[in-house]
Structures are given as structure tokens and as C-alpha cells.
């Protein structure tokens, strides 16, 4: 077995690894797989690649065969849309395998002043070309894996159709260049092939860049729509709470009427009726009775609702509040800030083990020309300073901190979010 045969034998496993690296960069795993399962997947893919490369060398069906096999493997291990799967498969084969190999082939011929056919005929050049092309391909894959945050991005049909057409045209161009350099068999055409290949290389990465930008823009719009729906839900909930408090105020206003009714039961000797009336009245008061009174109706509604929710989950909830009746924050922003902050605090406490301390402390103080707020809660330990959602349903619940930041942007405010051990703190200082 010659050194060229060994080099070609190592080509397929490297290409298989490159495909898996791209899958990891762009796709979500179907489930957690053991390392040996990946190794088996790479080996199977490499064996099939080797068979395809042996019997379909430098033909269009070679590319189709490799893409089809890689597509099946990606379907087994990963979840993603059909359009995204096609995009990644085509990008990997066209750019990281096809274009790089052609580029290295023609650059080698250009450096040594020989044709592509002559390059293929010299074992040293072949081995050198394989090492350089696969090393370059792996380096690019690694760079994409490190940089890429495209797992959750999707494109519309129009965008991905454009990209697929671009890749198909690039595949045709690749085979045209191959035919040109092999059929013409003239070193003079190496430079032309290099220029064409570099152009294809740049266009493919431009396509990847546009894909990322378009996908991010689509994701931003989608998240904004979901965040708006989330805020509307919170505002609707706030309206319900305020109506409940209004109901309580009406009950209090009619308290004399209730006393008169009770006196009527006593005067007629209907003790049982009086007891039933009193029980109903007590239940009504307990259901609507707030324990937090700040003087601000909107804030009272939010804090009392969240306190009730926390207590129902055995979470201690303490407040220290000293504010004016009128706050320089719009009711809508109050709802967004405190609803999201306290919801996050409650859910963090709820994720703690039953025996752990669960508490939420709220400090809200208004001083001369400043409003200071500090919300502290116990929370599970985290190993990252990136305060993104860790909730079970991040799609619906991952807007908390971003919504808080957005609501505070319109004010002259400083915001600090930190976690020290099991203690999470959100605080802001608003300048009036």
C-alpha cells in the first residue's frame, strides 16, 4: 500500500468529521448520544464516503451520493428543518470539500509550474494537497463551530431557495473548473482556475454571512412578536388584578350594608342564615384582601398577586417599601418590570430542592430625586455569568430580563444583575 493510498484512506474519516462538526454547529441533537455512538456514526459515514469516492471519482453523482449519505446520518442524529439541512449539506460539500480541494490542486500546480493532471500524478504533491486541503477544511469547520450560534435560526422559503440555487450553480461551476483543468491539461489555465475558485470561495462565505444575518433578523422579529404577546398577557393579568381590588373597595364601601344584612338575620333569629352570609363575606374578603399597601394602585396589584403566588409555593416574601403615591414610572412599565422580576424570582426559588431556603426580598425606596429598587431571591447555583433563561419553556418564558431592560431604557437608570452563590440580585437606581 502506497503513501497515496493511505492518504486517500484518511480522507473519508476527515470528511465525515467535518460533516459532524457542521451538524453540531447548526443543528439540535435529537437526544443525548454517547461518544461511542458518534464514533460509530463517523466510521460508517467514512466507509460509505470511501466507497463513493472510489467508484464515483470526480463525477456529479459522487457529490450527490456523499450529500445523500450525510443527509441520512444528520436525520438520524439531529433535528432541524429540511431547508436548513439542505443548506448545511451543500455548504459543507461545496465549500469545505469541493472548492478547497480544487483551490489547493491548482495552487500546487501554479507553484510548481505543472498542470493539474501532473499534480495528481506525483505522490508527494497528492499527499501534500490532501494534508493542506483537509487541514484547511477542519480549521474552517472549527471556526464556524466556535462562532456559530445558528442552532435556533430558520429562514423562510424564499431565502433558502436562493441559497440552494446559489449552491447548485456553484456545484456546476466546480465541475466545470475540474473539466477545464483536466481536459485542457495546461499549466497556463491554473491561474484562471485559482481565480475562479477563490471567487466561488468568497461567494459561498458571503452566502453564509447573509444566511446568518437574515436568520438573526428573522429571529429578532419573531422574538419581538413573542415578547409583545407576553407583555400584553401580563398587562391583561394586571387589569384583572386591579378589577379584583376595585371589587374589594366596593365591598368595603358597602360594609354598612353588610352589617345591616347581618343584623337582619339576627333580628329574625335566622342564626344559620347569618352564619352562611358571614362565611361568604369572609371568603370574599380573604380572596381579595391585599396585604401590601404602597399607595400606588398598579404596584399594589402586582406585588399582592406575586406575594400570593410565592406564598402558595412556600416561598417567604418580604417587602420594605417607602414611596410616594405617584411614581415616575408608567403603569405599563411597572407591570413589565416587577411582574417579570418577581416571576423570575419565584421560578428560581421553585427550582430549589424542597429542603432549601426559599425567599424573596423586595426593597423599594424613594429618596430625593432617586428611586432605588433591589430584588433578592434564593436560586440554584449557576456556572455561567450569562443570565439567559434556564426555564423549562424558554420559548414562552425567556423574555423576563430582556423585557425589564427594554422597559427601563426610556428612563435615566442604572441596572445591575448579579448572582453570588445561591443569592440572585436584581437592582436598579432610577434618577427622577
pLDDT single digits (tens) 301-325? 788 888 888 888 999 999 999 888 7
240, 199, 88, 65: which is closest to 150 by C-alpha?
A: 88
Average pLDDT over residues 61-67: 68
398-427 pLDDT, tens digit per residue, is 457 877 888 888 888 999 998 888 899 999
25, 97, 22: which is closest to 63 by C-alpha?
A: 97
Q: Give the phi and the psi of residue 29 in degrees, each rounded to 5.
A: -65, 145
Q: Is the pLDDT of residue 283 over 70?
A: no
420, 412, 422, 430: which is closest to 338 by C-alpha?
A: 430
- Range with top average pLDDT, 215-229, 322-336, 356-370: 356-370
Percentage with pLDDT > 70 across the chain = 70
Read off the C-alpha cell for 328.
415616575
Residue 372: the pLDDT is: 92
Question: Do 110 and 191 contact (CB within 8 A), yes or no?
Answer: yes
Average per-residue pLDDT for the chain = 75
195-227 pLDDT, tens digit per residue, is 777 777 777 777 777 777 776 777 667 666 766
Residue 376: the pLDDT is: 95
Q: Is the pLDDT of residue 1 over 50?
A: yes
> β-pairing, 413-420 with 423-431?
antiparallel
Which long-range CB contacts under 8 A does 292-298 form with residues at least 24 apart?
A: 292/319, 292/321, 294/321, 294/323, 294/325, 294/364, 295/323, 295/324, 295/325, 296/323, 296/325, 296/326, 296/327, 296/334, 297/242, 297/245, 298/238, 298/242, 298/331, 298/334, 298/335
294-432: CATH, from 2.170.120.12, 3.30.420.40, 3.30.750.80, 3.30.565.10? 3.30.565.10
75-106 pLDDT, tens digit per residue, is 888 888 777 787 788 778 777 777 787 778 77
Give the whole-angstrom CA distance, residue 20 versus residue 103. Answer: 23
Going by C-beta distance under 8 Å and a sequence separation of 6 or more, which residues neighbour residue 305?
237, 241
Read off the C-alpha cell for 292.
401590601
Q: Is the pLDDT of residue 392 over 50?
A: no
122-174 pLDDT, tens digit per residue, is 777 778 888 888 888 888 888 877 766 656 566 566 666 777 677 677 767 76
Residue 389: the pLDDT is: 40
CA distances from 197 to 107, 137, 210, 248 (A): 10, 15, 20, 76
- Greater confidence (111 vs 175) lies with 111
Residue 318: the pLDDT is: 92
Read off the C-alpha cell for 38.
458518534
Residue 360: the pLDDT is: 95
Q: Is the pLDDT of residue 328 over 90?
A: no
CA distances from 358 to 114, 242, 303, 377 (A): 75, 28, 17, 8
Residue 179: the pLDDT is: 66
Residue appearing with cell numbers 459532524? 20
- Range with top average pLDDT, 293-307, 326-340, 346-360: 346-360
Residue 395: the pLDDT is: 36
The domain limits of the chain are: 3-227, 294-432
Task: Output the CA angle 35-37-40, nearest 5 degrees.
Answer: 115
Give the whole-angstrom CA distance, residue 328 versus residue 334. Answer: 10
Give the whole-angstrom CA distance, residue 413 versus residue 415. Answer: 7
DSSP label of 358: -
Amino acid at each position: 500500500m502506497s503513501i497515496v493510498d493511505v492518504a486517500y484512506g484518511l480522507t473519508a474519516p476527515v470528511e465525515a468529521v467535518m460533516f459532524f462538526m457542521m451538524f453540531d454547529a447548526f443543528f439540535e441533537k435529537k437526544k443525548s448520544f454517547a461518544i461511542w455512538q458518534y464514533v460509530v456514526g463517523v466510521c460508517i459515514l467514512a466507509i460509505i464516503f470511501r466507497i463513493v469516492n472510489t467508484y464515483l471519482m470526480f463525477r456529479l453523482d459522487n457529490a450527490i451520493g456523499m450529500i445523500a449519505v450525510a443527509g441520512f446520518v444528520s436525520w438520524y442524529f439531529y433535528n432541524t428543518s429540511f431547508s436548513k439541512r439542505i443548506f448545511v449539506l451543500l455548504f459543507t460539500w461545496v465549500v469545505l470539500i469541493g472548492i478547497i480541494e480544487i483551490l489547493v490542486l491548482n495552487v500546487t500546480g501554479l507553484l510548481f509550474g505543472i498542470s493539474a493532471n501532473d499534480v495528481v500524478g506525483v505522490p508527494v504533491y497528492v499527499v501534500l494537497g490532501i494534508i493542506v486541503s483537509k487541514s484547511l477544511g477542519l480549521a474552517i469547520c472549527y471556526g464556524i463551530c466556535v462562532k456559530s450560534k445558528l442552532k435556533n435560526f430558520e429562514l423562510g422559503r424564499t431565502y433558502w431557495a436562493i441559497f440552494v440555487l446559489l449552491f447548485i450553480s456553484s456545484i456546476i461551476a466546480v465541475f466545470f473548473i475540474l473539466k477545464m483543468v483536466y481536459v485542457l491539461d495546461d499549466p497556463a489555465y491554473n491561474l484562471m482556475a485559482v481565480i475562479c475558485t477563490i471567487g466561488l470561495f468568497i461567494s459561498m462565505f458571503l452566502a453564509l454571512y447573509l444566511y446568518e444575518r437574515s436568520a438573526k433578523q428573522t429571529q429578532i422579529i419573531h422574538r419581538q412578536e413573542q415578547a409583545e404577546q407576553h407583555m400584553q398577557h401580563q398587562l391583561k393579568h394586571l387589569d384583572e388584578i386591579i378589577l379584583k381590588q376595585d371589587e374589594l373597595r366596593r365591598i368595603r364601601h358597602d360594609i354598612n350594608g353588610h352589617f345591616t344584612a347581618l343584623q337582619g338575620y339576627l333580628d329574625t333569629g335566622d342564626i344559620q342564615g347569618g352564619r352562611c352570609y358571614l362565611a361568604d363575606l369572609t371568603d370574599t374578603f380573604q380572596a381579595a384582601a391585599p396585604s401590601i399597601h404602597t399607595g400606588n394602585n398598579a404596584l399594589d396589584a402586582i406585588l399582592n398577586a406575586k406575594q400570593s403566588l410565592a406564598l402558595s409555593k412556600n416561598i417567604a416574601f418580604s417587602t420594605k417599601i417607602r414611596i410616594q403615591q405617584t411614581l415616575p414610572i408608567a403603569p405599563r412599565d411597572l407591570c413589565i418590570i416587577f411582574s417579570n422580576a418577581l416571576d423570575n424570582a419565584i421560578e428560581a426559588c421553585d427550582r430549589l430542592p424542597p429542603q432549601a431556603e426559599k425567599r424573596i426580598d423586595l426593597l423599594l425606596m424613594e429618596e430625593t430625586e432617586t428611586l432605588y429598587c433591589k430584588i433578592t431571591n434564593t436560586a440554584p447555583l449557576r456556572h455561567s455569568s450569562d443570565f439567559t433563561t434556564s426555564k423549562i419553556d424558554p420559548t414562552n418564558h425567556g423574555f423576563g430580563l430582556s423585557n425589564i431592560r427594554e422597559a427601563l431604557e426610556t428612563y435615566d437608570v442604572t441596572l445591575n444583575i448579579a448572582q453570588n452563590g445561591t443569592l440572585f440580585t436584581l437592582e436598579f437606581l432610577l434618577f427622577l
